[in-house]
Amino acid sequence: MDWWIWILLGLLLCLAELTTPGGFYILFFGVGAVIVGILVGFRAAGPAWFQFILFSAISVLCLWLFREKLLQLTRGRPSESVDSLVGELAVPLEDISVNSVGKAEMRGTSWNTRNIGDKPLARGQRCRVERVEGLTIFVRAESN
């Protein structure tokens, strides 16, 4: 087959991957076709039957080597458990009296915050997260 047919087939397969729900299967067959097209262009792929064998081998090899890594990159890290927030520092965005609810900032996010300590929290005072329930953090003033 001509080199441009392989390249066109590869690009069409890569575009087809965009229409499928994120399995990254078709993409690697597109990559295999593009690689075979490049090899045919340099007259390094041999007859048509060998090109198809090369296409299959390259596609499966790329699928086996790179699919899992690509899935990890696109899915990102699993979200952290809210239990990992216990022990973190938060900063009240308003004065929060004892056993009252207010707002505090932690990790760049505003949280509903209940003061479970025995002293009121002043705006900007550092406090430590004792537990998390739903979207509310339970804090007490940080001991120096």
The predicted structure's pLDDT at residue 19: 87
CATH number of 82-141: 2.40.50.140
Residue range 49-78, pLDDT digits in tens: 999 999 999 999 999 999 998 888 877 665
Q: Within the chain, which residues score under 50 in pLDDT?
A: none
The predicted structure's pLDDT at residue 72: 84
Residue boundaries of the structural domains of the chain: 3-75, 82-141
* 3-class SS string, the chain: CCHHHHHHHHHHHHHHHHCCCCCCCHHHHHHHHHHHHHHHHCCCCCCHHHHHHHHHHHHHHHHHHHHHHHHHHHHCCCCCCHHHHCCCEEEECCCECCCCEEEEEECCEEEEEEECCCCCECCCCCEEEEEEECCEEEEEECCC
